[in-house]
Structure 1
Amino acid sequence: MGSTSAENDGTGSTENSTAGVGRRALIKRSAALGLVSVPAMSFLSACASGGGDDNSGDNEGKTSESNPFGVKKGSKLDVVIFKGGYGDDYAKAWEAAFKKQWDVTSVHTGTQEITGKLQPRFNAGNPPDIVDDSGAQQIPIDVLHKNGQLLDLAEVLDAPSVDDPDTKVRDTLIPGTLDAGMQEGKVVALNYIYTVWGLWYSGKLFEEKGWEAPKTWDDFLAICKDAKSEGIGGLAHQGKYPYYINVAIMDLIAKKGGLDAMKAIDNLDPKAFVGSDAAQEAIEAVYEVVEKGYLMPGTNGLTHTESQTRWNQYKAAFITSGSWLENEQLKTTPEDFDMKFLPMPLLPDSALPFEAIRAGSGEPFIIPSKAKNLPAAKEFMRRMLSKEWSTLFAKEANSLTILKDGVDPNVQLRPGTQSTVEASKAAGDNTFRFLYTEWYSEMGTAIENASNELMAKRIQPKEWLKRAQAAVDKQAKDPASKQNHRD
C-alpha cells in the first residue's frame, strides 16, 4: 500500500516534502495498503456513471512485438504518484526512462491529496492515465471497482515480460502478490511494493542496553518494563492513525491462531472475533502494554511521522510499521541508529513460528478505465515490472518490488531494508497477509476506530472484540461480499 501514509498504506508530510505517509492503505493500504475513512457513499453516488470505455483515441500507435499495446510516440502520459513514505523520485526516474524509450512526455503530479485531487476528475470522466492510489486519502479500491472505474489488468499481466519475451509478466512476480489487488476475481490494482510488517527497533539502543531482540510476547513486555524504568517508552505507535497498531493486533491473531484465524476475518466469519480465542488473547496482550504504562508518553496524540521521529530520538524501544519506514524516516534517523526489523513476538502456544511474518504486496497502482492514453499506461506498468525499473525503485525508495529477483545484486541496501530481506528469507513459506483491508474499506476503518479507543483506554478488550465483530457482521450483509473468499 505500505502500505502504508499522512495518513499508508496506508504515510505524512506536506505535499512538497519527500518525507512521507505510509501504507498504509495499505496500508490498508497499502498498502499497502484505507487508513482514514473516506466519504464512500458520496463518492459512490458521484461515480455511479462508471466506465470501461477506451478513450485513447489519437493516442493509439501501431502494435508490434516490442510495442504490444501500441504506444504512440510523442503522446502524453498523465501520472499521479502518492508522495508518501517512498517519495516520488523513483517515478520521475521511470518517466525519464519512458520518455527516452518512447518519446512520451509525462505530466507528473506528486501528492498526498489523492482523493482531493482525483475524485473530481473521476467524477467528470477525466482521470489520469496511471495512479499510485495510496495513503490516508486513498480512494478505496473496492469503491472504484464497484463503479467500473478501474481497468482489468489481465492484458498487462498476460503480456510478454520486458526481460524475457517468452515469459508472461505475471509469471515473473513473487507468488501471491497479485492477490491484494483482486476484486471479484479480477486484478484491478497492481500492489507493486513487496512489504513486510512488524516491529522495529534500533540496533544501537539495544546493544547499549544489553537487550536481545524478543521472540516471545513475555520477553517483549520485559524489555518494555526495563525501558520504562529508564525513562524510555516501551512501544511507540502512530496514535492518530490506528492502522499501525492493528499491525500488532492482527499479526498476533494470525500467529496465535494460524492461517485459519486470519481467513476467518477475511471471510467474514460470524466468530471471526467474538468466539475466537486467538483474537481474545491478542487484544488482551496489546492492551497489557496500555494498562502497564508501557506506551511512549503522548504517542496516542501523534501522527505517524511524529511518533516515528521520537522513536528515532531513542524515546521508545519499539514501533510498529511496514517496510516503508526506513525510507520515510531518512531525514530524522541518526547515521548510527542501525534500524532493524523484528517479526511479531509469539504468544504462548502460537500456531505459527516466530519467523512467520505478514508480508505481501502494497502500494496499489491503478489504470483508470477512462484513461485517455491507455496504450502508454499499459506499457508503463509493464516496464514497472522489468529489472531495470525495479532496480531504479530500490535505489530511489529503499524498498523491494514484487518482481522475483528484481534488484541488481550490486545495489547496496540500507540496514533496515537489509533486515527485511533477511527476515523474508528466514520466514520462507511462513508468510501471511490479510485482505479485508483491500476488500472491505469500511470494515477496516471501523476496526481501526475501535483500536484507537482501546489504545486511549476508553474501551476494554471485550468491547473491542464486540465492535470488530459488529464490523464483520455488517460487511457480511453486503451481497457483493460473497464474491470474495479465501480457501
Structure 2
Amino acid sequence: MTSLSRRNLLRSLAGSGVLAATTGALGACALSGGGDDKPSDSAQGAKNSVNPLGVKEDAPLEIVVFNGGFGEDYAKAHEAMYTEKYPKAQIKHSATQQIGQTLQPRFVDGSPPDVVNNSGAGQIDFNGLVSQGALADLAPLLDAPSIDDPNKKVRETLLPGSLLPGTYDGKTMALNYAYTAYGIWYSAKLLGDKGWQYPKTWDEMIALCRTIKAAGISPWTYQGKHPRYMSWPILSAAVKMAGADILVAIDNLEPNAWKHEAILAAADAYSQLAVDGYIMPGSEGLDHIQSQTEWCKGKAVFISCGSWLPSEQKAVTPPDFQMTIAPTSSLSTSDKLPFEALRGTAGEPFVVPAKAKNLNGGLEYLRVMLSKKGATDFTNRVASLTCVAGLEGVNLPPGLESVTKALKASGDKGFNWVYNSYYRKLERELVDAACGALFTKQINAKQFVEQCQKGADSIARDDTIKKYKRS
C-alpha cells in the first residue's frame, strides 16, 4: 500500500479549492491510500453465493449521510434492509450538512466511516480524494451479482450513463445514486390555460417570450445566486447543435474547447433572454429556493433545473400546477441531436473509503441500495428517481412522471458532461462567475466563452490538480 503524507493530502485538497476551514485542526497522522488493495485490518468474511462480497456478518458498519433535501430516513430504511441480511452487525448512523468539515480529519488520520454520502456544498472534493487513493474501487460491487437477479451483474441493472460521473481514469470510485434529468421546467396548466405550446426551436422560444411578456408575466427566472444553473441549458443546446464530442473536449480540458462555435451560439441565444428583458426582474439576487418559489407562484414561466425540483418545491407547489420538464429548444434545423435529446446523469454520490474498517460491508450496503426494494423505497420516500433501471410499483408525482416520459423520448440520444465532477472549482466558481456576468449583461457571449476557457486553462496549468481523461 502507498503511504500518503498529511502534507500531500492537504496540498491536493487545497489545490482543488475546497479545503475546509478545519484544516488547522487536522491531526498529524498520515493517511494511508488504498490503491487496489484492501486495508489489512478490514473485516473479512467467507465468500459464497449468498455473500458474494465476503461480508463479515458481525462486523460493525458506520454510515454517514448528507442531511440535505433527501433527509436521512431513506438511509435508515436501507440500514434496516442490511440488518435483515446481517442481524449480528451493529450499524452506526449519522447525518450532517457539513460532510467536509466533519470527515476530512478522519480521512487524514485513517479512520473514515465505511460508507459516506459525500454530497452538498460542503462535500470533500473528489479530485483530492481520488488522487490520494482515499477511495475504494467499486468494481467488486459492480461485478457482483445483483440481489434481485443473480444472473445479472449489479452494473447491468443500472440506467445508461449512471457510472460516468463517478468514474476516474476508468475506475468507478463513487456511486451516484439519484438519477437526474436536466431541462427546462414549466407549468403545463399555465401553458394550457394560456393556449401556449412549449417551443421546440429557439426562434419559437423568443416568439413565445414576446407573447408571455405582453401578457404581463416574466418568461424566465433563474437561480441568480447560483447562476451556473444557466450554464446547463447553454451546454445542452450546444451539444444538440454540434454533437457530444464537444463535451469530451471540455471534460478533457482541451485548448479552446469552450470557444467552440456551438457553445458561442448557445451562449448568444440565451444571453438574449437578459438583453431583451425576458428574465424576471430581481432574479439575480435570488437563491435557488427563492427563484423556484416565485416560479411556482406563476411569476415566471420557465426555469432551468434538475429533476430534484419537484421534491425541493413540494411544500409550495400548487396541487394543479402540473410541473413538467422539457428539453432545451433546438438552436437550428441542422442540429446533430434531435429536440428530444435530454441531459441525464446520476448524482448524490456514495463512496466507500479505502481505509474503511468494514470495506466489504460498505460495498454490500451499496448493493442493498441498488436492489429494487432499496431503490423503490428511496423513490417512494423522497420523490426522486434512482440509477436503478426497470422499477415497478413506484409512486411518482406529476413532475417525475414527466421526467420518465422525457427520458423515454430521449432514448439513446441522452448526454452528459463530467468536468464538474473532475474539477469542482471550474463549475462552482469559474463558470458560475461567467454565467453571473452574462445574465446580468456585464459581458456578452464571446466574453463568456473566453472567460470559461480562461478558467479551464487555469485548471489545466495547475500542477496541484490531478487531471483525468474521458474517452
TM-score (norm 1): 0.86
Q: Equivalent residue for 1:87?
A: 71
Alignment equivalent of 1:160, drawn from 136, 139, 145? 145
1:322 to 2:306 alignment: yes
For 1:295-344, what per-residue CA distance to the aligned partner results, in whole angstroms no more than 9, with x for missing partners? 12222111111111111111110111111111111111111111101101
How much has 1:186 moved relative to structure 2?
Answer: 0.9
Q: Equivalent residue for 1:354?
A: 339
Asked if 2 retains the 8 angstrom alpha-carbon contact of 1:48 and 1:147, the reply is no
How much has 1:459 moved relative to structure 2?
Answer: 2.2
Q: Equivalent residue for 1:439?
A: 422
Asked if 2 retains the 8 angstrom alpha-carbon contact of 1:263 and 1:486, the reply is yes
* CA distance 1:417–1:44, shift in 2 (3 Å): farther
For 1:112-133, what per-residue CA distance to the aligned partner results, in whole angstroms no more than 9, with x for missing partners? 3222222222223222211121
Q: Equivalent residue for 1:332?
A: 316
Query: C-alpha distance in 1, partners of 2:361/2:132?
Result: 23
The one-letter code matched in structure 2 to 1:392 is D
Q: Equivalent residue for 2:436?
A: 452
Asked if 2 retains the 8 angstrom alpha-carbon contact of 1:197 and 1:358, the reply is yes
The one-letter code matched in structure 2 to 1:128 is P
Q: Equivalent residue for 1:5?
A: none
Question: What secondary structure does 1:265 align onto?
Answer: helix
Identify which range, 41-50 or 113-122, moves more after superposition: 41-50
Question: What secondary structure does 1:261 align onto?
Answer: helix
* CA distance 1:218–1:48, shift in 2 (3 Å): farther
Alignment equivalent of 1:420, drawn from 384, 393, 403? 403
Unmatched tracts of structure 2, length 5 or more: 1-15
How much has 1:164 moved relative to structure 2?
Answer: 1.8
Q: Equivalent residue for 1:222?
A: 207
1:183 to 2:168 alignment: yes
Query: C-alpha distance in 1, partners of 2:24/2:214?
Result: 51
How much has 1:287 moved relative to structure 2?
Answer: 0.9
Alignment equivalent of 1:287, drawn from 262, 267, 271? 271
How much has 1:57 moved relative to structure 2?
Answer: 3.9
Query: C-alpha distance in 2, partners of 1:399/1:282?
Result: 29
| RMSD, matched Cα | 2.6
How much has 1:110 moved relative to structure 2?
Answer: 2.8
Aligned length: 449
Q: Which runs of 4+ in 1 moved over 6 A?
A: 40-48, 479-483
For 1:190-225, what per-residue CA distance to the aligned partner results, in whole angstroms no more than 9, with x for missing partners? 112221101101111111222111111222223333
* CA distance 1:185–1:301, shift in 2 (3 Å): same
Counterparts of residues 13-28 of structure 1 (less than 5 Å): none
For 1:432-464, what per-residue CA distance to the aligned partner results, in whole angstroms no more than 9, with x for missing partners? 101111122232231122112222222222221
Query: C-alpha distance in 2, partners of 1:384/1:430?
Result: 27
Query: C-alpha distance in 1, partners of 2:409/2:66?
Result: 31
The one-letter code matched in structure 1 to 2:162 is T
Query: C-alpha distance in 2, partners of 1:115/1:233?
Result: 39
For 1:140-161, what per-residue CA distance to the aligned partner results, in whole angstroms no more than 9, with x for missing partners? 2112101111111111111121
How much has 1:58 moved relative to structure 2?
Answer: 7.5
Query: C-alpha distance in 2, partners of 1:385/1:469?
Result: 38
Asked if 1 retains the 8 angstrom alpha-carbon contact of 2:161 and 2:344, the reply is no
1:307 to 2:287 alignment: no
Query: C-alpha distance in 2, partners of 1:41/1:48?
Result: 19
Query: C-alpha distance in 1, partners of 2:202/2:403?
Result: 20
Counterparts of residues 41-190 of structure 1 (less than 5 Å): 49-52=31-34, 54=38, 57=41, 59-103=43-87, 104-190=89-175
Give the greater-gyration-radius structure (CA). Answer: 2
Asked if 1 retains the 8 angstrom alpha-carbon contact of 2:169 and 2:469, the reply is no
Q: Equivalent residue for 2:9?
A: none
Q: Equivalent residue for 1:38?
A: 18
* CA distance 1:344–1:116, shift in 2 (3 Å): same
Asked if 1 retains the 8 angstrom alpha-carbon contact of 2:42 and 2:356, the reply is no
Asked if 2 retains the 8 angstrom alpha-carbon contact of 1:77 and 1:129, the reply is yes
TM-score (norm 2): 0.88
Query: C-alpha distance in 2, partners of 1:40/1:344?
Result: 36
Asked if 2 retains the 8 angstrom alpha-carbon contact of 1:85 and 1:325, the reply is no
Question: What secondary structure does 1:432 align onto?
Answer: coil
For 1:28-69, what per-residue CA distance to the aligned partner results, in whole angstroms no more than 9, with x for missing partners? xxxxxxxx9624899799798352274584844443321223
The one-letter code matched in structure 1 to 2:394 is V
The one-letter code matched in structure 2 to 1:38 is V
For 1:159-183, what per-residue CA distance to the aligned partner results, in whole angstroms no more than 9, with x for missing partners? 1211122322122222332121111
* CA distance 1:70–1:424, shift in 2 (3 Å): same
Identify which range, 474-483 or 171-180, moves more after superposition: 474-483
The one-letter code matched in structure 2 to 1:110 is A
1:403 to 2:402 alignment: no
Query: C-alpha distance in 1, partners of 2:335/2:25?
Result: 45
Question: What secondary structure does 1:400 align onto?
Answer: coil
Unmatched tracts of structure 1, length 5 or more: 1-35
Query: C-alpha distance in 2, partners of 1:124/1:199?
Result: 44
Q: Equivalent residue for 1:233?
A: 218
For 1:66-98, what per-residue CA distance to the aligned partner results, in whole angstroms no more than 9, with x for missing partners? 122333344432222223333332212111222
Identify which range, 153-162 or 255-264, moves more after superposition: 255-264
For 1:396-429, what per-residue CA distance to the aligned partner results, in whole angstroms no more than 9, with x for missing partners? 1222222221x12x32311111111111111111
Identify which range, 297-306 or 46-55, moves more after superposition: 46-55
* CA distance 1:111–1:299, shift in 2 (3 Å): farther
Query: C-alpha distance in 2, partners of 1:474/1:384?
Result: 38
For 1:269-300, what per-residue CA distance to the aligned partner results, in whole angstroms no more than 9, with x for missing partners? 222122x2101111111111111121122221
* CA distance 1:305–1:110, shift in 2 (3 Å): farther
Query: C-alpha distance in 2, partners of 1:40/1:260?
Result: 35
Q: Equivalent residue for 1:204?
A: 189
* CA distance 1:224–1:107, shift in 2 (3 Å): farther
